[in-house]
Chain A
Amino acid sequence: MTMHASRTNSSIQSIVSDVYLRSPTRPTRADRPLSPARRGGMLGAERRSPVTTKNRLGDSGVSRRDMIRLGAGGVGFGLCGGIGPVPYLLSQASRAAAATQSGRILVVFEWFGGNDGLNTIVPYGDATYYKHRPTIGIRERDLLPIDAHIGWHKSMSGMKHLYDEGKVAIVQGVGYDQPSFSHFSSASFWHTAAPNSGNEYGWIGRTASALDPAGARPNMIVNISDSQTLAVKAEKHVPLVFIDPMKFQRGVFAQEKAALDTLAAQHAPVGDAHRYVLEVTRSAAQASEVVRAAWGHYKGKDNPDLRLLDLDKVAALIEADFPTKLYYVPLRNSLFDTHVNQAAPHDRQLQYCSDAIAGFFQEMKRIGRADDVVMYVYSEFGRRVPENTSLGTDHGTAQVNFVIGNAVKGGLYGKPPSLTNLVLGDNLENTTDFRQVYATLIDEWMGADAVKVLGQRFATLGMFQAGSHA
Chain B
Amino acid sequence: MATRTGWSPGPAAWHDDLAPMPAAEWNYDRAAHLLTHAGFGGTPEEIQKLADAGLERAVQSLVYYESIPNPKMQPFVESGLWDPTLNGFPESRPEATDRAEKHGASMGIESKPSGNRPVQPVSDRFFYWLRATMLETRRLGYWWANRMLQTTHPVEQKMALLWHGHFATHENKVRDYRKMAQQIDLFERGATGNLRELTIKVAQNPAMLYFLDAQYNVKGAPNENFGREVMELFTMGVGNYSEKDVREGARAFTGWYFDDLAFKVDQDKHDGGVKAFLGRTGTFDGLDVLNIIFEQPVTAEYLAGKIYRFLVRDELSAELRKKLGAVLRDHHYDVKPLLTVIFSSRDFYSQASYGGHIKGPVEHMVAMMKHLGVDTMPGVPDFNQSTIAMGQHLLNPPSVAGWAGGKAWITPGLLIARGNVAREVLIPDMTGFRDWNFSAGSDDILGRRLRDGFDIGAATAVNDPSNMSAFDRVALERDEKFNTRISGYVGWEQAARKLIPTPRHAARFDLTELVVQSGAKTTSEAIDYLTWRTLRVPPAQAMRDTLVAFLTKELGTDNVLRARTYMEDPLRITMHLVMSTPEYQIV
Q: What is A's interface to B at a CB cutoff of 8 Å?
A: 180-185, 223, 225-228, 238-244, 247-253, 255-256, 259-260, 262-268, 270-274, 276-278, 280-281, 283-285, 287-288, 302, 304-305, 307-308, 339-341, 344, 351-352, 355, 388-390, 394-395, 424
Contacts and interface: CB of A to CB of B under 8 A. Distances in A.
A242 B94 CA distance: 35
Contact of A277 (B218, B468, B586): B586
A341 B573 contact: no
Contacts of A242: 411-413
B197 to A, nearest CB: 26
B198 interface: no
Contacts of A265: 582
Interface of B: 91-92, 94, 213, 216, 218, 220-221, 223-225, 228, 232, 238, 243, 246, 313-315, 351-352, 354-358, 389, 391, 399, 401, 404, 406-417, 419-420, 423-424, 427, 467-472, 537, 539-540, 542-543, 546-547, 549-550, 554, 573, 576-577, 580-583, 585-586
B577 A271 contact: no
Contacts of B420: 247, 250-251
Nearest to B409: A227
Contacts of B351: 271
B238 A182 contact: yes
Contacts of A308: 469, 471
A226 B573 CA distance: 27
Contacts of A250: 416, 419-420, 580
Given A271-B356, A273-B314, A283-B412, A266 B407 contact: no
A272 B356 contact: yes
Given A273-B313, A273-B586, A274-B583, A339 B354 contact: no
A256 B537 CA distance: 22
A247 B469 CA distance: 24
A277 B585 contact: yes
A276 B470 contact: no
B65 to A, nearest CB: 28
Contacts of B213: 339-340, 390
A181 B243 contact: yes
A102 to B, nearest CB: 25
A359 B354 CA distance: 49
A284 B407 CA distance: 15
A259 B470 CA distance: 48
A182 B223 contact: no
Contact of A274 (B223, B537, B543): B537
Given A250-B420, A302-B467, A389-B221, A241 B413 contact: yes
B586 A274 contact: yes
A184 B401 contact: yes
A304 B472 contact: yes
A388 B222 CA distance: 9
A281 to B, nearest CB: 5
21 contacts: A180-B238, A185-B232, A225-B411, A227-B408, A241-B412, A242-B412, A243-B413, A248-B416, A259-B549, A263-B546, A264-B580, A266-B542, A267-B537, A267-B543, A267-B583, A270-B355, A270-B537, A304-B468, A352-B470, A390-B213, A394-B223
Given A182-B232, A251-B420, A351 B401 contact: no
B582 A272 contact: no
Which A-B residue pairs are the 7 nearest by beta carbons? A304-B469, A242-B413, A241-B411, A284-B412, A389-B221, A277-B582, A270-B355
Contact of A227 (B243, B313, B411, B577): B411
Contact of B416 (A273, A288, A395): A288
B582 A264 contact: yes
Contacts of B546: 259, 262-263, 266
Nearest to A308: B469
Nearest to A424: B243
Nearest to B217: A390
A259 B412 contact: no
A243 B94 CA distance: 32
B18 to A, nearest CB: 20
B391 A256 contact: no
A274 B92 CA distance: 46
A361 to B, nearest CB: 15
B216 A260 contact: no
B537 A344 contact: no
B88 to A, nearest CB: 16
Contact of B470 (A184, A256, A305): A305
A344 B94 contact: yes
Nearest to B225: A339
A438 B94 CA distance: 40
Nearest to A184: B401
Nearest to A281: B582
A175 to B, nearest CB: 15
Given A274-B583, A277-B358, A341 B411 contact: no
Contacts of A388: 216, 221, 223
Contacts of A243: 413
A46 to B, nearest CB: 27
A273 B468 contact: no
A259 B547 contact: yes
Given A260-B580, A389-B221, A340 B216 contact: yes
A91 B419 CA distance: 25
A304 B543 CA distance: 45
Contacts of A248: 412-413, 416
Contacts of B472: 304
A277 B355 CA distance: 11
B411 A272 contact: no
Which of B404, B413, B547, B586 is packed against the most chain A CB atoms within 10 Å?
Answer: B413
Given A180-B238, A304-B469, A267 B356 contact: no
A256 B423 CA distance: 11
A297 B582 CA distance: 31
